[in-house]
Chains A and B, each alone.
Chain A
Amino acid sequence: MAWRVGVDIGGTFTDVAMVEEATGRIGIAKVLTTPHDFSEAVIDGIRQGLAREKIAPADVSLLAHATTVVTNALLEHKGAKAGLVTTRGFRDVLELRRSSRSDLYDLFQDGPAILVPRRWRYEVTERIDAQGAVVTPLAESEIDGVIAAIRDAGLEAVAVSFLFSFLNDRHERIVGDRLRKALPQVKIFLSCEVLPEVREFERTSTTAVCAYVAPVLESYLGRLQKAVTELGLPKLYVMGSSGGVFDIAEGLRMPAMAVESGPAAGVIAAALVGRQLGLANVISFDMGGTTAKASLIAEGEVAVTAEYEVGGSGHVNRWQHGSGHPIRVPVIDLAEVSAGGGSIAWVDPGGALKVGPGSAGSAPGPAAYGRGGIAATVSDANVVLGYLNREALLGGDLKIDLAAAEAAIARSVGEPLGLSVPEAAARIIEIVDSNMAEALRIVSIERGHDPREFSLVAFGGAGPIHAASLAGELQIPEVVVPPAPGVFSALGLVATDLRRDYSRTLYADLGSVEPAVIAAAFDAMETEGRAMLTAANVAPGRRGLLRFADIRYRRQAYELTVPVADGPVTQETLKGLVAAFHDKHRQTYGHASNKDAVQLVNLRLTAVGRIPGVTLAQRANGTAAGRTGPRDIWFAGEGFVRTPVHWRPGLSAGTVIDGPAVIEAVDSTTLLPPGWQAAIDAQGYIRMKRR
């Protein structure tokens, strides 16, 4: 039987999820992550998983991987020795960035990290103007000097980014050709190939990120591919930031695509749940040990953003320039907050209770884990209130120290605020829930979507405990807890499509542009996309080419993305685009300016190789193992209530449970508050609604 295998690397565990294509049956393996060489745990986990499910390597039809290598190289400054070649007079564009600071009042803030130090930034005489015309011809005689300097410095990769190369790429390509010929061992990235879009800093940054991480990514993926080949497994695919997988060759052409690989996989898995259950509108909610992430899937479409900074501080994807390295590649639109099971609660000198951003992580961990942690964490509060089992977790593998949890909460929160231990624990949960609600709010209400029209798909080790409360906060009517929520992101890897995103900047007044100009740009991208799909052996019937346009009022700087219908581009197509833009502007910002000129800025194409769908299932096995008796659980406004505890593998399809109740499993606990009702569906999903 054919199986698909997904491997996701987390901070503590490397998760392996296996799905049998015909039945949707799920297998799981979890091994400790090996930070010195991530590929070790990946291989070890795959071996264990295959052995456990008795899968022969030849039966693996798809192997997909979410890698943290790119994000880690940027966060830990462990990328390559990379250089940059720019237009003369502009080598400092990368360092000068946008000139604003990310924290207004932090006196001792550091300047932003610089991927390419000034000593390795070189200038070449040339200039293209704002109309794409050559003002200063390229001084080809200067290129040899740059080549010598790169060789002398022993650089491993070089980015080339000239002003206005998105309008006229000739100079960049000449320099690129010369460098590639003279320095075959050095990886060369051209901004016109990586990101042919306006804004020199963002384009240069994206290109520099590619150069900085490419050697690391190549070495890692090379090792991994070799090891999986030795195991007799098929070609390795890598999850990209936009939620599709690509093969290694494609990834090395555009390494920036591999940021946020793991979180993207979780969102893709949530989208699969939506499709499988017939839910068009889903909010994915992933809560782990240190952070919680939310993303929105409307009408079945995963939301993707082109404004992203990697390696920054603070909330991911908020309006915070200057804390990370901007990459303008499509990234799944996630809101991330520092809120997880390990988040630490504390009272500040002004008397306000805070949770996070500090985390006890896996070492020392929450006080309740008995590994020396003394800080009061969210997990400690969950233990005290009875949401988490007060004796043991992970099917008995992790013993719980209730007294330690109570002491930590009393010391850190209860005494300073004059609250009892359960009251203090309840406040901690209330705050962490509100922090996470903010992430949900960012992706829904702030983007103009009404959460009442969505279902919440909750996963990650801690997600299903907090989901009902968050759903209540945002008036989300339904919570879905999928199979294997603890390794859910790895499941997303096997459910995704092959995907590659292309874009072209094309400034045009949509009222007067010739449709043929737009058609030609789409044709060029479609040719590239088809070639990629052919190279990846995607059957013709499984190919998709999706077209989009970034549009704005002529004088605006930010666009809204509107889909472009298939078929020939005609005047009618353009009229439809203008109308769709006005509508979307009104929906997003509350007004439209129908008299103002509407401008096309970018055309986008997404080439998709569709992978046959799978149906995830976790059916009851009737086992009573792991079942525990009822326990006292605290609920707001009621205090401790004697509450039944159910063992998830023992719940057969059609079971209906009225809250309050707890549903436990090896990898995750689900909390069903009073007033909620849970139904177990035919595939083993827990579907929770208010009664």
Chain B
Amino acid sequence: MPDESPLRIKTDPARFEVVKNALYSTAEEMKIIVAKTAYSPLLKVAGDYSCGVFDLAGGMVAQGPDLPIHLGSMPDAVRAVVKAFPDAAAGDVFIHNDPYNGGSHLPDVNVVTPAFLGSRLLGFCCVRAHWPDIGSASPGSYGAVTEIFGEGLQIPPIRLYRDGEIDRNVEALICANIRMPAERMGDLRAQVAANRRGAARLEALARKYGADTLLQIMQEVQDYSEAMMRLAFRKLPDGEASFTDTIDGDGILAPGANADETFIVKLTLVKRGDRITADFAGSDPQVAGPMNAPLTVTASGVYCALKMIADPKSLIPANSGCWRPIAIEAPTGSVVNAQSPAPVVYANHEMSARVADMIFAAMHKISPENVMAGSQGTSAIVTFGGVDYRTAERYVSYESTKGGFGARPAKDGINGLASTVANMMNTPIEMLEMSFPLRVEEYALIPDSGGAGTWRGGLGVKRTWRILGRDSNSASCCERSVTPPFGLAGGLPGSPTRLTLEQAGKPTERLPSKGGFVAPADARVVMEAPGSGGYGPPAGRSRERLRDDLIDGYVTPEGARRDYGVDPETL
């Protein structure tokens, strides 16, 4: 079928494969260096960062085994540096976190290092890392504010190192604006070290194969992914489908309101031949609180879901070439194409995750085989901050609790596993408690939380923290507390998010899903992250699977009766 095999690689196929692998292992090696040298638990054990190799124009050539959430925006983050510094030289390191210039939200700090062979610029290495704090009024920088100026320190693309030496003025300015600057500088050194290794590997490749060949292959790697994606799109049926979903709110109560107001995102997916368009016409205008997604954040959600749909066995290297056959249209000034100075911090993960889930829901109407039911659809963030009673030092803790991974045709969902745009790890309880004045009192699957279905949704997860010693200045950021993760093809939805505060002698208090709160010393904060939706009608579930679910306590006897219409005694 020669007409289906667009052979676009001009480099010798063997050399192409060798150099492509070397580029991907470069990104992976950068990832390892950050994990092994960073200081904050969020980076060193939870892995909230991405590493990539970029071409001269900022196109992403290779991403490490990182976070899909950064797929859409990292190339733009590097492009911002390319544009601002046409004079980049060896020994330079650049830094920025501007969400309206390819960043994602202020805590995600991009460190970009150019790679050279002699005086010849080869490309860039970039590490985007989530700093646990970037200033603002709230430890963890997750407050519900109404302008980006309230979200923390904004860093436009600037030069951080020259001739391999850090600019002490820039360093001092950053340190003056963030909590725990010594820890942050440890993280920053890890980012710089990873880039240094990445740039050295690019230099070695250029020395070995020639800079021209390397640069050509850096383009061909993207062309190759584009060709493979087009081929995969062509295999899907053509069609058009819409899906509208409701967002919990933005964390800002309207005057006189006693609940956060919901708003909608609307998606129309059009699949024609080897192209797909995601059109968000009909979505609500940008909101007061930080649930506004710059277009690149929206794009990450679209890209991630379409990659999983078109390439379910994960054979196509993820890079900028993959996204060329995809068009995204979103009304300017809407929640999915927000304009400065709208605040953005929550939308980075909450909106991109929602957009990814919505792509699956819409695609289900076009091609029901290659989709998953709604996953947890929220990063379920809780931050704690204040002063550690044990050391009198400041601390900021940032955790994401993972719930269900959506059910698929012929496969159950997965319990407590990062889904779609997310892939952070949890923080080991023992490391958390040694680092912060917190005690985790439960970390457990929630029975009956997976949406019932022929294929059951993955279970949600409960994590309970007790605040030790002193009050904690806390914040939350969750979605799916109003509309739970959807089921597909007759499957039922998963359980919603629920966040509560428990204090001795007081009734349990429901906490807002977004914004700051004070957790008093000795109180318990309980996060219940959602289960995912089921696939296919519950009546279709095999007796054996349901019986095993009951024995293992994934489903309770009441749940079996209520959701599956089955008397457990008869199994």
Contact = CB atoms under 8 A, between A and B. Distances in A.
Interface of A: 89-93, 95-96, 98-101, 103-111, 117-119, 127, 129-130, 135, 163-164, 166, 198-202, 318-321, 347-354, 416-417, 427, 430-431, 434-435, 438, 441-442, 446, 507, 553, 555-558, 585, 589-591, 593, 596
B220 to A, nearest CB: 10
A130 B428 CA distance: 12
A129 B314 CA distance: 42
A590 B197 contact: yes
Contact of B370 (A92, A103, A107, A109): A107
Given A164-B430, A555-B183, A434 B17 contact: yes
B318 A200 contact: no
A348 B232 CA distance: 13
A107 B68 contact: no
27 contacts: A95-B445, A99-B402, A100-B47, A100-B423, A101-B423, A104-B318, A105-B308, A106-B314, A107-B408, A108-B411, A118-B445, A135-B439, A198-B431, A200-B430, A347-B13, A348-B228, A350-B227, A352-B9, A353-B17, A434-B17, A435-B21, A438-B21, A555-B39, A557-B35, A557-B45, A557-B431, A590-B196
A555 to B, nearest CB: 4
A349 B4 contact: yes
B542 interface: no
Given A92-B443, A106-B314, A351-B5, A100 B418 contact: yes
Contact of A430 (B14, B39, B224): B14
A105 B44 CA distance: 23
A346 to B, nearest CB: 12
A558 B304 CA distance: 30
B193 A589 contact: yes
B551 interface: yes
Interface stretch (B23-31, B148-156, B482-490, B501-509): B23-31
Given A99-B417, A350-B231, A553-B186, A105 B68 contact: yes
B405 interface: yes
A445 to B, nearest CB: 9
A198 B430 contact: yes
Given A350-B6, A553-B39, A557-B41, 13 more contacts: A89-B443, A96-B461, A100-B418, A101-B418, A130-B439, A135-B439, A202-B428, A321-B425, A350-B5, A352-B16, A556-B36, A585-B37, A589-B197
A348 B44 contact: no
A653 B570 CA distance: 80
Interface in B380-421: 402, 405, 408, 411, 414-419
Interface of B: 4-9, 12-18, 20-22, 25, 28-29, 31-33, 35-41, 44-45, 47, 65-66, 68, 182-183, 186, 189, 192-193, 196-197, 224, 227-228, 231, 304, 307-309, 311-315, 318, 370-372, 402, 405, 408, 411, 414-419, 423-426, 428-431, 433-434, 439, 441-445, 458, 461, 464, 551-554
Nearest to B228: A350
Contact of A556 (B29, B44, B192, B228): B44
A102 B17 CA distance: 23
Contacts of A434: 14, 17-18, 21
A352 B7 CA distance: 8
Contacts of A558: 35-37, 44
Contact of B425 (A95, A100, A320, A435): A100
A379 to B, nearest CB: 18
A110 B9 contact: no
A318 B5 CA distance: 32
Contacts of A107: 308-309, 312, 370-372, 408
A111 B196 CA distance: 35
Contacts of A119: 551-553
Given A99-B426, A103-B314, A555-B183, A319 B31 contact: yes
A593 B14 contact: no
A200 B33 CA distance: 23
Nearest to B464: A89
A555 B393 CA distance: 13
A593 B439 contact: no
A348 B315 contact: yes
A499 B445 CA distance: 41
A105 B408 CA distance: 14
Contact of B428 (A118, A199, A435, A596): A199
B434 A118 contact: no
B277 to A, nearest CB: 21
A349 B7 CA distance: 8
A94 to B, nearest CB: 11
A416 to B, nearest CB: 8
Which has the most chain B C-beta neighbours within 10 Å: A89, A101, A104?
A: A104
Given A107-B312, A352-B17, A198 B445 contact: no
Contacts of A117: 552
A591 B423 contact: no
Contacts of B37: 553, 556, 558, 585, 589
B425 A354 contact: no
Nearest to B45: A557
A199 B418 CA distance: 20
A354 B414 CA distance: 31
Given A95-B445, A118-B552, A430 B18 contact: yes
Given A104-B314, A105-B68, A106-B313, A431 B196 contact: no
Contacts of A353: 13-14, 17
A556 to B, nearest CB: 6
Contacts of A164: 430, 433
A435 B18 CA distance: 8
Nearest to A441: B25
A130 B183 contact: no
Q: Which among A98, A198, A434, A442 has the greatest number of chain B C-beta atoms within 10 A?
A: A98
A522 B31 CA distance: 34
A313 to B, nearest CB: 12
B221 to A, nearest CB: 10
A639 B552 CA distance: 64
A111 B532 CA distance: 14
A37 B45 CA distance: 42
Nearest to B19: A434
B311 to A, nearest CB: 6
A417 B10 CA distance: 12
A504 B94 CA distance: 42
Contacts of A596: 182, 186
A96 B444 CA distance: 8
A549 B17 CA distance: 41
A351 B32 CA distance: 31
A556 B39 contact: yes
B9 A350 contact: yes
B60 to A, nearest CB: 14
A555 B36 contact: no
A438 B25 CA distance: 9
Contacts of B5: 349-351, 416
B21 A351 contact: no
A95 B416 contact: yes
Nearest to A314: B65
A321 B309 CA distance: 23
A441 B204 CA distance: 13
Contacts of B65: 104, 319-320
Contacts of B309: 107
B6 to A, nearest CB: 7
A105 B182 CA distance: 36
A98 B424 CA distance: 9
Nearest to B439: A129
A249 B25 CA distance: 42
B434 A198 contact: yes
Contacts of B464: 89
Which one of A90, A349, A352 has the greatest number of beta carbons of chain B within 10 Å? A352
Nearest to B66: A104
A104 B5 CA distance: 26
Given A89-B442, A107-B408, A557-B41, A417 B13 contact: yes
